[in-house]
Amino acid sequence: MYDQANHLRKLVLAGGDDRRPPAGNAPRLIAISGGKGGVGTTTLAVNLATALARDGRRTLLVDADLEGADVATLCRLDDGYTVADVLSDRRTVHEAIQRGPAGVQVLPGAWAPGRLSSFSPAAQDRFVRQLRGLGAHADFVILDVGSGLSPAVRSFWQAADCVMLATTPELVSVMDAYASIKVHLEGRESCSVYSLVNFTDDEAVATDVHARLARACQRFLGVSVVAAGQVPEDPRISEAARRGRPFFLEFPDCPATRRIEEISQRLIADAQNRAVGEVASWSRPSQHTALSA
């Protein structure tokens, strides 16, 4: 069904299971973020976590957007403990997680705008340490950190192993994405940053957005940004959300599902290659050329 994704999966599995990090290693923390609201970070996080879990990767999805809590709705979870209980030290991550779609473990968010973002740096550090200590239970931790320039968002960028930054083709969205990189990565020596263009099926448009963002970040910030691809706009995405289901499961044959599958395979390959001291190439030849221009 996914021709390119199947090819990527074969590349990932070519080295055998011995390339998978041994249980107990810290899971890979991937922050899904945007320069501004409305770029689809929660939908991307939910479906990417679902794709990883369907591929046999132990995956924890964390609703770390401290200004909202949409992950629980998209995963149709019952009321329970939330990230607020963990940040306030009332519960541990283990006590607060619920089982989500396709076996994804989910730590729901809390609707408390303006309050959670004021949690102390010590509380956030304790929270991140708990996530990093989940190596025996998780290969990937997908953090939906939301959008904007708040200190809370910055703290999760600083803690993550890599950031997947969502933007749309709109100029304002691209500029906001650049501003996020400038603010949130200041003082960080190295961080993997991947750009993902949402709401477009025009590869030429997406390639242009990737290239413009990458050139600006390299020239003015000294930060390398690698193209992760694009996800098309599709009414079935909204339909799946209304049903409280990831579109990855509800519409397995739609183009957006194929794109998410491709991205998940690249994340798996990237994690495995880094485990053996290599760096995975994300870009297609045309995108690589554009980013190098």
Residues in the chain: 293
Token pair in block for residue 202: 């025009």
User: Which has more pLDDT, 114 or 75?
Assistant: 75
Other CB atoms within a 10 A radius of the CB of residue 67 amount to: 19
DSSP output for 134-155: -TTT-SEEEEEEEESS-HHHHH
- In terms of DSSP bridges, do strands 98-99 and 105-107 run parallel, antiparallel, or are they unpaired? antiparallel
Give the torsion through C-alpha atoms of 141, 144, 147, 151, to 10 deg.
-60
Beta strands 28-34 and 140-147 are: parallel
CA-nearest of 255, 225, 262, 32 to 140 is 32
Q: What is the pLDDT of residue 49?
A: 98
Q: How far apart are CA 223 and CA 216, in angstroms?
A: 9
Q: Which of 70-74, 110-114, 128-132, 284-288 has the lowest mean pLDDT?
A: 284-288
* More confident: 3 or 133: 133
What pLDDT shows up at residue 118? Answer: 56
Q: Which long-range contacts (CB under 8 A, 24 or more apart) does 129-136 make?
A: 130/86, 130/92, 130/93, 131/27, 131/29, 131/60, 131/62, 131/93, 132/26, 132/27, 132/29, 133/26, 134/26, 134/27, 134/60, 134/93, 135/21, 135/23, 135/24, 135/25, 135/26, 135/27, 136/23, 136/24
pLDDT tens digits along 55-97 = 999 999 999 998 778 999 999 998 899 999 999 899 999 999 9
Tell me the per-residue pLDDT of 150-190, one tens digit each, with 9 for 90 and over.
Answer: 888 999 999 999 999 999 999 999 999 999 999 999 878 77
Cβ burial, residue 270 (10 Å; 0-12/13-18/19+):
buried
Residue 166's SS3 state is: strand
Contact at 8 Å (CB) between 148 and 70? no
Asked whether the predicted pLDDT for residue 293 surpasses 60, the reply is: no
249 and 101 Cβ atoms separated by less than 8 Å: yes
Query: Does the pLDDT value for residue 244 go beyond 90?
Result: yes
The CATH class, in words, for 27-185+193-292 is: alpha beta
- How far are the Cα atoms of 131, 151, 155, 186, 188 from residue 120, in angstroms, in the given order? 17, 10, 11, 20, 20
pLDDT above 90 as % of the chain: 69
How is the chain split into domains, by residue range? 27-185+193-292
